[in-house]
Amino acid sequence: MEKVMELSHVTKVLSKRRVLDDISFYVPKGSIMGFLGPNGAGKTTTIRVFTGLISCSGEVRINNISIKEKRHAVENIGAIVENPIFFNYMSGEKNLKALAILDNIEKESINKRIEEVINIVGLKGREKDKVKNYSLGMKQRLGIAQALLNNPKLLILDEPTNGLDPIGIKELRDLILKLNKEKGITVFISSHLLDELQKICTDFIVINNGKIIKQGTKEEFLNYGLKDNLEETFINIMTGGK
């Protein structure tokens, strides 16, 4: 099995508290990995660790390259951690261009790549509108376009459905499936909307109190305790079957 990302014995201490406690897991190439856990379990800290935003003990490898040894390994990751940030009085297209320049994308390739990601996320025809006039769903798609600029192999989404209405949630779901199936991008997604994750994910990881307590395929999760519903399975895992 090819692993696009692997964490080995990762620990993170904040304010004398072990927010992550010797965690190890991997993300198979081509998967859509759902990252589950209650509030305060360590999900966002874990994402910040493997995107290189904060340091840790242990090892993080992206495409079998340690990010401690070679920082450029994180260039294979596109991420939305919490809410994406935009210049609201600039167009979506100009926001992408500003980030592309900061990301050191080759000058002669910038316009072509921006056009590509605009088409991928479904913003064609609205790319010249100011971001202040975008709906929340459109802003999320623009955020994903930003994350795709470097043509990443792994896309990280931290609570991407926050604040979206049912139509926006469906549009985001369809986009994630498109990126995975048509573009071959591995997706790692954290969300509290377990019914949505059940619709799109191939694999799951559960974290609680800074520890990984279960990892497996969708089939293994839904068969756990003879459950066929992810929410019931999650509750069963968290309560030890009580």
Average pLDDT value for residue range 9-24: 93
Comparing CA positions, the residue from 159, 34, 153 lying closest to residue 84 is 159
Give the tens place of pLDDT for each residue, 175-228: 999 999 999 999 999 998 999 999 999 999 999 999 999 999 999 888 876 567
Comparing CA positions, the residue from 127, 147, 161, 133 lying closest to residue 85 is 147
Amino acid in the structure at residue 227? K
The pLDDT assigned to 227 comes to 63
Domain ranges of the chain: 1-76+155-164+190-241
Cα–Cα distances in Å, from 163 out to 76, 114, 223? 28, 26, 31
Fold of 1-76+155-164+190-241: Rossmann fold (3.40.50)
Give the tens place of pLDDT for each residue, 116-156: 999 999 999 999 999 999 999 999 999 999 999 989 999 99
pLDDT at 242 over 60: no
> How many residues would you count in the chain?
242
Helix intervals (H) in the chain: 43-50, 92-102, 110-121, 136-148, 166-183, 194-200, 218-223, 230-239
Give the tens place of pLDDT for each residue, 40-78: 899 999 999 988 888 889 999 998 888 877 777 787 899
How many whole angstroms separate alpha carbon 165 and alpha carbon 171? 10
Give the tens place of pLDDT for each residue, 102-112: 777 777 888 89
Comparing CA positions, the residue from 202, 128, 135 lying closest to residue 169 is 135
Cβ-contact 198, 225 below 8 angstroms:
no
